[in-house]
Structure 1
Amino acid sequence: MGVDRETAILRVWHDHAAPWTRAVREQAIASRRLVTDAAIVEAVLAWRPKRIIDVGCGEGWLLRALARHGIEGLGVDAVPALVESARAASGGRFLTMDYAAIATGGLHEQADVVVCNFSLLGGASVDALLGAIPALLAPGGGLLIQTLHPWSACGEGEYRDGWREGSWAGCGEGFGEAAPWYFRTLAGWMQSFAAAGLTLESMREPIDPQSGKPASVIFVLVPR
């Protein structure tokens, strides 16, 4: 069942590349507009990198934002239509590659910072990807992960690791079936990091100014 859900994630994102690109570029998603976009840019700039790899880069907005600060970047995504949108908008370096290929050593690149910004949705696929991250980091490099905060994302479900139904609520028009996603507790994230040879250096909890609750969590990690 887990394999089917992993496959469903990619299928749904392939089907929704166009509406997602429109939602991002029109700033239709309130949490991104108010909090989370700026939060990940600030976290990257705090590291003062010269070069980053954006894993799950989507339509490339983060690399465009960081390029204005003189930061070189490589964007990687499994959805060809998103990669093409990213290239058309910036002319930067973008590759089409899925997480399985990265996990097996297919990405022969290194950077000061690897970023995964709301791009870690799966279960086993994410664990495999995390295990490959240390090899992508230059000496002194770090991994930044922004994801849903387990406390605020738990909803009415039990607070335990497991698959959840997805939703496009708040993303605007043009969306259909939503992708499933794998919910991790804080302890679940820590276990995945430890198994991948990563150590949590710090953690940020960007707050939604309207609700006063965490809009996300940003994990700052380094190789063990």
Structure 2
Amino acid sequence: MNRDIRTDTEVLASWQRNATPWIAAVRGGEIASRRLATDAAVLDAVLACSPRSVVDLGCGEGWLALALARRRIAVTGVDAVPELVEAAREAGLADCRLLTYEQIAQGALDCRADAVVCNFSLIGSTCVDDLLRAVPTLLEPQGTLIVQTLHPLMACGDEPYVDGWRAGSWAGFSSAFRDAPPWYFRTLESWIALLDASGLALRALREPLDPRSGKPASVLFVAQLRG
């Protein structure tokens, strides 16, 4: 097993261990950047597409999928962590499926939607590459992919600005969290190149600002099928 696949597996294992405190943190509004900037940014980006149907990849406990469903949008939530899928279903998400990114890349998700959204859910390396290359098979012809993730310039810290695995951290979270997952850092150039390699054309790049610092809280990519 190569390092990327092994480390992608470690990411999923960590999220499985931390599912319970994650649900509590999201539903308790404990993550300030989400309250102040990023939740509204991704919801507004999806709604701006006026979709009738959405696939939420890495839906977690389901907050975004449920927010869209309340607006009478048909939503399919997908996550690889059983506890998160169960939490989303219990909260009222009618269509929530337990699938890994590897399974989706191999064609296990049999549906198409007007929009596919990945909200802070693209943490790994090889599995993310393969997933994004499968996104065109999930989109209707005029469909849109929306990705919100850590802003590379803000997340780089003192490390070199090059792609690579980084150690994770639960700094700022409750003591209930443990064994933070590693995550794969990508430069802005690498993100755009990956979208292009996946048959997608970047239509917009947004940088939601954290009102406390005036600096980007995230970066948000909006892309559509090329051609």
Conserved 8 A contact 1:164-1:182: yes
- Are the counterparts in 1 of residues 5 and 127 from structure 2 also a CA contact under 8 Å? no
Q: Does 1:3 align with 2:5?
A: yes
130, 133, 155: which one aligns with 1:131: 133
TM-score (norm 2): 0.97
Partners of 2:66 and 2:84 lie apart in 1 by 14
Question: For the Cα contact (< 8 Å) 1:28–1:170, is it kept in 2?
Answer: no
Inter-partner Cα distance in structure 2 for 1:133 and 1:171: 32
User: What residue in structure 2 maps to residue 110 of structure 1?
Assistant: 112
Pair 1:202 & 2:212 matched:
no
Note the C-alpha offset of 1:172. Answer: 2.4
Q: Tell me which residue corresponds to 1:13.
A: 15
Other-structure match for 2:52 = 50
Task: After TM superposition, list the pairs within 5 Å mapping 1:152-171 onto structure 2.
Answer: 152-171=154-173
Taking only the aligned residue pairs, the percentage that are identical comes to 54
CA deviation after TM superposition for structure 1 residue 75, in Å = 0.1
> Match for 2:43 among 41, 44, 51?
41
State the number of aligned residues: 224
- Matching residue of 1:179: 181
RMSD: 0.8
Within 5 Å, give how 1:41-120 maps onto structure 2: 41-120=43-122
Q: CA deviation at 1:54?
A: 0.1
Runs of 4+ in 1 over 6 A off after TM superposition: none
* Partner deviation per Cα, 1:152-204 (whole Å, 9 max, x = no partner): 11111110111101111223231011000000001111221121111101111
Bigger shift: residues 103-112 or 162-171: 162-171
Q: Which amino acid aligns with 1:219?
A: F
1:31 to 20, 33, 37: 33
CA distance in 1, matches of 2:187, 2:96: 32
Distance 1:215 1:43 in 2: 15
Distance 2:70 2:99 in 1: 25
Gaps of 5+ in 2: none
> In 1, Cα distance between the equivalents of 2:90 and 2:53?
21
Report the Cα offset of residue 72 of structure 1: 1.4
Q: For the Cα contact (< 8 Å) 1:197–1:223, is it kept in 2?
A: yes
Aligned 8 A contact 1:147 1:217 in 2: yes
Q: Distance in 2 between matches of 1:53 and 1:69?
A: 15
Which amino acid letter does the alignment assign opposite residue 77 of structure 2? Answer: G
Equivalent residues of 1:30, 1:170 under 8 A apart: no
